[in-house]
């Protein structure tokens, strides 16, 4: 046994050294995280560009001033977002904002009304049309804030990136324009589109319309509708002679605060007998993060299993191409060679992950440690994500999953003489491996549902499902049973693969498909 | 040479599905000998070697290597040079040889020392730190040979060791084989070059289509106890001839193995009575001629025991 392990270690060490002794490896390992970040930024940027339009829109207002009121509603919304941020945050580089917070008594947690009141006091200085505004500058706090607001829009956008003016700006040429003129501007993409407010919008939305060139990108219309609805709703409430407070109550959304049950152990006062009481408590952000963290673990686990297995398969095909296989097989058992290569690839992957952890993990860790300072509530991100049971589960099922699929892919690689043949022959296994990625969200949403329970016992998916549902682990006996079940299947995978590998590595003809593999196992 | 056998095949057969790669092969390879496996392409030589190495197991019969029927248990005493030679291109020459030594249970220190000695012997010491991919083909073959020898095996199995070598390197390999035998190693080699087999081997087996067509010492194979005959009937007329041990006929040509005491004149008379003789040759044939005779162009080697 010791000799066997010594051989495995030798083969693994050689594979590892050969992989990590190339410049290409280190360049790839070091550039990998940078490329990932670049790709994420580019994809995020492009997604933002395509999902949300950015540009100008025009409004043709046929009513008696609804357009202006909607514009003020948008302004008020932006002010509200910004003031709310000031009320939540405890520190600013801009001393003026600290003054505002103190002087206006802004405190979102203890006094939400302070935000609304301050925004109301600001509106007279900023509202549309400009002729209606109070004059600036002024000595009062709202006047000084309004002046600051006008002069520091860049900082406003920096602090509240999704402020409306950053996305949509109302086009205003300073004179009258017709629909025909706007059609031309829309067609040549000067405008995202234009909105027509009919004269009777309060009564009916029948003639309200949004004109655009690309009807699939109508987000500006949806955004505008939200503000228009609020303005129109006020008029309708007024016309119906309903008190404002009643109206607010009528339109208030119904919401249920999510709580969860908790079982608390109690000992009775008389006999000291143990009992339990079921109570409820609200769900914290920590718990939500804890709940969804396994899904991220599952993705990482899947990534490592899939790419590790494919690397193993291509490495096996390459090993055959060196024509050294016969010598190796005369010096080592087929299973020793297979185990050694599996361990070698695993070590190579761990090296890459180590590099990535240092390059990506450090900033992420620092970010996670710093994040709570920017959040209005206390969150222990590190504690929520790196729970011991998650890390343990990850290690156990990474090892089992990688071995289960790694051996299968090794077997496929052993009977192939080209990477192309190997890709074709491994396609069914690859398809099986793709499914867990598609199941990440459904499993995370219902970790104790029938799908999760059934798939926990389906060996190809056991590692992924067990990882994803780590927040809701079964009882210890069942947990151990599942691990034993997976160990048995991993052993079976190794047994079958070594039978194929032993003969497959000497095959020089084209692979004979799935039946050929079965025949190699049976003979 | 001692009386102990390094390798013994006993009715060893190997089949792949319907294909019989080796059919009931029985032979013994004495310790300290140079034993040749000759035969046309696809005859079963490599399969026989793989059985000796334990890379494959016989479908029936047994193969005993260095006294063990499980050659895996003695693999560190076997050195194998395959027909298709290859190296890890990005590995340094010394590292490669040491790696192969360590796979055969050597510790790093002694593997390195032995690797350097052999690299010196084969005049490759200046290349020890170069990557294998920078070697010429001949150098690469020598490195592979060194890797075969590094653990000082008792049994050397060389599959086409002269293939692709220039005359100088061929002599180097010949010298190495002879040196090893002097040191009591057993060398088994397969080759297509009959002159090499003839000049090197103490004994050999000629395999065709999985069957041993001829087996014995070089003297036996080349001695006059074989008669080559060309006649105009099929081989059945040759059955029961006096002193004839076996007959194998391909087309009009037949090879007759005869007892040493058998008078060839008497035999010719007996044959003439049965068939029209076109050619009757009792001179010692070269291995090349024997090969051509035994295998022929349309070989159907069917050894016929003549009682």
pLDDT of residue B224: 59
State both tokens at B143. Answer: 């490195």
Question: What span, in angstroms and rounded, lies between the C-alpha atoms of A303 and A356?
Answer: 14
pLDDT of residue B301: 37
Same domain membership, residue A303 and residue A207 = no
User: What is the helix (H) or strand (E) element at residue B291, kind and residue range?
Assistant: helix B287-295
| Per-run averaged pLDDT (10 residues), chain A, 523 residues | 86 89 84 82 76 80 92 93 87 86 83 88 90 83 92 88 83 84 91 92 91 84 92 90 85 79 68 71 77 87 89 86 80 88 90 82 73 62 81 92 92 87 86 88 85 89 91 88 94 92 80 76 76
State both tokens at A439. Answer: 């199941």
Same domain membership, residue A316 and residue A227 = no
Query: Shortest CB distance from A324 goes to which of B72, B86, B102?
Result: B86
Yes or no, beta carbons of A331 and B103 under 8 Å apart: yes
The CA-based angle A208-A211-A217, given to 5 degrees, is 115
State both tokens at A433. Answer: 């491996």
Same domain membership, residue A482 and residue A428 = yes
Same domain membership, residue A237 and residue A327 = no
Question: What span, in angstroms and rounded, lies between the C-alpha atoms of B53 and B64?
Answer: 10
Q: How many CA atoms lie within 13 A of B9 on its CB side?
A: 28
Q: Which domains does chain B have, with CATH numbers?
A: 5-206 (3.40.50.300), 224-283 (3.30.70)
**Percentage of chain B modeled with pLDDT above 90:** 25
Q: Which residues of A352-391 are buried (b: 16+ CB within 10 A; e: fewer)?
A: beebeeebbeeeeeeebeeeeeeeeeebebeebbebeebe
pLDDT of residue A51: 57
Query: In this complex, is the C-beta atom of A483 within 8 Å of any C-beta atom belonging to chain B?
Result: no
Yes or no, beta carbons of B90 and A21 under 8 Å apart: yes
Query: Domain for residue A40, yes or no?
Result: no
Q: Kindly report the nearest CA distance between residue A341 and chain B, in angstroms.
A: 14
Per-residue pLDDT reduced to its tens digit, B84-109: 778 888 889 999 999 999 998 899 99
Torsion angle defined by CA atoms of residues A16, A20, A24 and A29, in that order, rounded to the nearest 10 degrees: 100
Query: In this complex, is the C-beta atom of A120 within 8 Å of any C-beta atom belonging to chain B?
Result: no
Question: What span, in angstroms and rounded, lies between the C-alpha atoms of B27 and B189?
Answer: 15
Question: What span, in angstroms and rounded, lies between the C-alpha atoms of B65 and B63?
Answer: 7
pLDDT of residue B306: 29
- Tell me how many domains chain A contains: 2
B54: left (phi over 0), alpha (psi -120 to 50) or beta: left
A241: left (phi over 0), alpha (psi -120 to 50) or beta: left
Per-residue pLDDT reduced to its tens digit, B228-280: 889 988 888 988 888 888 887 878 888 887 887 788 888 899 999 999 999 88
Same domain membership, residue A300 and residue A238 = no
Question: What span, in angstroms and rounded, lies between the C-alpha atoms of A6 and A336?
Answer: 9
Strands (DSSP E) contained in chain B are: 5-16, 19-30, 34-38, 60-65, 78-81, 155-159, 186-190, 203-208, 211-217, 226-231, 244-250, 253-258, 277-281, 304-305
pLDDT of residue B23: 87
**C-beta separation of A67 from A59 below 8 A:** yes
Question: What span, in angstroms and rounded, lies between the C-alpha atoms of B59 and B75?
Answer: 20
Same domain membership, residue A290 and residue A238 = no
- Give the SS3 label for residue A412: helix
User: Which one of A194, A223, A244 terminates a domain?
Assistant: A244
Query: Domain for residue A396, yes or no?
Result: yes
Question: What span, in angstroms and rounded, lies between the C-alpha atoms of A302 and A296?
Answer: 10
pLDDT at B307 over 60: no
Query: Domain for residue A356, yes or no?
Result: yes
**C-beta separation of B52 from B7 below 8 A:** yes
Query: Domain for residue A430, yes or no?
Result: yes
Q: In what order do the strands lie in the sheet with A193-197?
A: A168-170, A55-61, A193-197, A209-212
Using a CB-CB cut-off of 8 Å, the residues of chain A touching B82 are 323, 326-327
Query: Domain for residue A132, yes or no?
Result: yes
Query: Shortest CB distance from B88 goes to which of A22, A322, A331?
Result: A322
User: Which one of A244, A277, A305 terminates a domain?
Assistant: A244
Which of A23, A24, A325, A326 is the mutation pick for testing B, counting most B CBs within 10 A? A326
User: If we measure between CA atoms, which residue out of A502, A513, A339, A349 comes closest to residue A429?
Assistant: A513
User: Which one of A216, A244, A272 terminates a domain?
Assistant: A244
pLDDT at B304 over 60: no
State chain B's mean pLDDT as an integer.
Answer: 84
Same domain membership, residue A447 and residue A352 = yes
Cis peptide before A303 (omega within 30 of 0): no
Using a CB-CB cut-off of 8 Å, the residues of chain A touching B86 are 322-324
Query: Shortest CB distance from B75 goes to which of A10, A322, A331?
Result: A331
Same domain membership, residue A311 and residue A234 = no
Query: Domain for residue A112, yes or no?
Result: yes
Query: Domain for residue A253, yes or no?
Result: no
**C-beta separation of B11 from B26 below 8 A:** yes
Q: Kindly report the nearest CA distance between residue B124 and chain A, in angstroms.
A: 20
Query: Domain for residue A349, yes or no?
Result: yes
B21: left (phi over 0), alpha (psi -120 to 50) or beta: alpha
Using a CB-CB cut-off of 8 Å, the residues of chain B touching A328 are 103
3-state secondary structure A119-171: HHHHHHHHCCCHHHCCCCCCCCHHHHHHHHHHHCHHHHHHHCCCCHHHHEEEC
Interface pTM (ipTM) of the complex? 0.72
Using a CB-CB cut-off of 8 Å, the residues of chain B touching A506 are 50, 55-56
Longest dimension (CA), chain A: 96
Question: What span, in angstroms and rounded, lies between the C-alpha atoms of A313 and A412?
Answer: 7
Yes or no, beta carbons of B90 and A333 under 8 Å apart: no
State which residues form the domain around A444. Answer: 286-522
């Amino acid at each position: 046994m010791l000799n066997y392990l010594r051989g495995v270690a030798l083969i693994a060490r050689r594979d590892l050294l050969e992989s990590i002794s190339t410049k290409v490896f280190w360049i790839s390992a070091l550039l990998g995280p940078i490329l990932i970040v670049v790709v994420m930024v580019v994809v995020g940027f492009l997604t933002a560009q395509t999902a949300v339009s950015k540009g100008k829109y025009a409004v043709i207002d046929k009513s008696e001033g609804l357009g202006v009121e909607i514009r003020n509603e948008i302004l008020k919304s932006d002010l509200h977002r910004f003031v709310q941020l000031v009320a939540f945050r405890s520190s600013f580089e801009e001393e003026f904002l600290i003054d505002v917070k103190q002087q206006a008594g802004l405190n979102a947690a203890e006094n939400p009304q302070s935000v609304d009141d301050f925004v109301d006091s600001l509106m007279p200085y900023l509202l549309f049309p400009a002729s209606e505004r109070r004059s600036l500058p002024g000595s009062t706090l709202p006047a000084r804030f309004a002046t600051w607001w006008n002069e520091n829009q860049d900082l406003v956008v920096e602090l509240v990136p999704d402020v409306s003016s950053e996305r949509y700006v109302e086009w205003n040429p300073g004179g009258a324009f017709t629909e025909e003129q706007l059609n031309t501007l829309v067609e040549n993409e000067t405008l995202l589109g234009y909105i027509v407010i009919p004269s009777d919008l309060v009564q009916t939305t029948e003639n309200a319309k949004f004109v655009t060139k690309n009807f699939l990108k109508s987000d500006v219309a949806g955004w505008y509708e939200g503000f228009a609805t609020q303005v129109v709703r006020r008029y309708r409430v007024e016309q119906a002679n309903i008190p404002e407070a009643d109206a607010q109550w009528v339109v208030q959304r119904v919401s249920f605060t999510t709580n969860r049950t908790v079982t608390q152990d109690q000992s009775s006062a008389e006999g000291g007998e143990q009992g339990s009481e079921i109570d409820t408590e609200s769900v914290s952000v920590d718990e939500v993060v804890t709940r969804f963290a396994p899904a991220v673990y599952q993705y990482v686990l899947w990534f490592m299993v899939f790419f590790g297995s494919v690397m193993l398969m291509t490495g096996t095909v390459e090993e055959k191409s060196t024509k050294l296989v016969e010598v190796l097989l005369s010096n080592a058992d087929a299973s020793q060679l297979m185990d050694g290569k599996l361990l070698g690839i695993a070590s190579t992957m761990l090296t890459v992950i180590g590099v990535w952890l240092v390059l990506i993990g450090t900033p992420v860790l620092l970010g996670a440690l710093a994040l709570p300072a920017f959040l209005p509530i206390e969150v222990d991100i590190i504690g929520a994500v790196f729970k011991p049971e998650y890390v343990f589960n990850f290690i156990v099922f990474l090892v089992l999953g990688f071995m289960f699929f790694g051996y299968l892919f090794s077997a496929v690689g052993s009977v192939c003489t080209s990477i192309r043949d190997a890709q074709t022959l491994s396609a069914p296994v690859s398809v099986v491996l793709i499914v867990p990625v598609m199941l990440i969200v459904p499993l995370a949403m219902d970790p104790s549902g029938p799908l999760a329970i059934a798939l926990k016992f389906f060996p190809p998916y056991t590692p992924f499902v067990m990882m994803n549902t780590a927040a809701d682990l079964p009882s210890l006996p069942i947990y151990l049973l599942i691990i034993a079940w997976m160990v048995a299947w991993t052993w079976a995978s190794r047994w079958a693969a070594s039978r194929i590998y032993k003969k497959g590595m000497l095959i020089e003809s084209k692979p004979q498909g799935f039946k050929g593999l079965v025949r190699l196992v049976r003979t | 040479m001692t009386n102990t056998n390094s390798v013994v095949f006993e009715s060893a057969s190997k089949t792949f599905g319907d294909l019989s790669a080796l059919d009931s092969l029985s032979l013994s390879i004495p310790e300290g000998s140079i034993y040749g496996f000759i035969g046309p392409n696809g005859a079963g030589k490599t399969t026989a070697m793989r059985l000796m190495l334990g890379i494959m197991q016989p479908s029936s019969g047994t193969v005993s290597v260095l006294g063990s029927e499980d050659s895996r248990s003695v693999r560190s005493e076997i050195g194998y040079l395959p027909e298709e030679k290859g190296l890890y291109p990005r590995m340094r020459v010394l590292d490669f040889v040491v790696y192969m030594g360590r796979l055969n249970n050597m510790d790093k220190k002694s593997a390195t020392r032995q690797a350097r000695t052999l690299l010196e012997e084969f005049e490759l010491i200046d290349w020890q730190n170069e990557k294998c991919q920078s070697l010429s083909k001949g150098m690469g073959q020598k490195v592979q040979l060194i890797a075969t020898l590094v653990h000082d095996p008792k049994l050397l199995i060389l599959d086409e060791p002269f293939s692709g070598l220039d005359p100088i390197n061929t002599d180097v390999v010949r010298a190495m084989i002879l040196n090893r035998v002097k040191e009591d190693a057993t060398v088994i080699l397969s080759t297509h070059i009959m002159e090499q087999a003839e000049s090197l081997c103490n004994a050999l087996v000629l395999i065709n289509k999985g069957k041993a067509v001829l087996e014995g010492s070089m003297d036996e194979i080349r001695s006059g106890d074989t008669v080559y005959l060309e006649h105009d009937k099929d081989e059945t007329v040759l059955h029961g001839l006096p002193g004839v041990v076996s007959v194998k006929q391909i087309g009009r040509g037949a090879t007759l193995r005869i007892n040493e005491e058998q008078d060839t004149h008497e035999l010719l008379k007996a044959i003439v009575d049965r068939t029209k003789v076109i050619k009757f040759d009792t001179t010692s044939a070269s291995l090349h001629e024997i090969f051509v005779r035994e295998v022929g162009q349309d070989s159907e080697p069917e050894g016929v025991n003549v009682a």
